[in-house]
Homo-oligomer: A and B are copies of this chain.
C-alpha cells in the first residue's frame, strides 16, 4: 500500500525523527513505512493522517 508520507513530511520540513516523535512511534517505524517495508497499523495510520491534517484516504493510496 503506497503512501505520501515522505512527500508530506518534506513539505513541512520535518525530519523522520520529528515525525516519529509527533505520532509516538520509533524512527525505525517511520523509515519502514516510508520505504514501504510494511503498512502501519490502523491507529498509527490515524495518527499520521491527523498530524498532516488529512484523511487516511489522502495519505494512503488504495491501489485496489
A42 to B40 Cα, complex, angstroms? 7
| Min distance, Cβ A31 to any Cβ of chain B, angstroms | 17
Within 8 A of B (CB), among A41-64: 41-43, 45-46, 50, 55-57, 60, 62
Chain B neighbourhood of A41, CB < 8 A? 39, 41-42
Complex copy number for this chain = 2
Within the complex, the shortest CB–CB distance from A64 to chain B, in Å, comes to: 9
A25 at the interface (CB under 8 A from B): no
Closest B residue to A61 by beta carbon equals B46
Q: A39-B43, A50-B62 are in contact. List 16 more A-B contacts (CB 8 A).
A: A1-B42, A1-B43, A39-B42, A40-B42, A41-B42, A42-B42, A42-B45, A42-B56, A42-B60, A45-B45, A46-B60, A55-B55, A55-B57, A56-B56, A56-B57, A57-B57
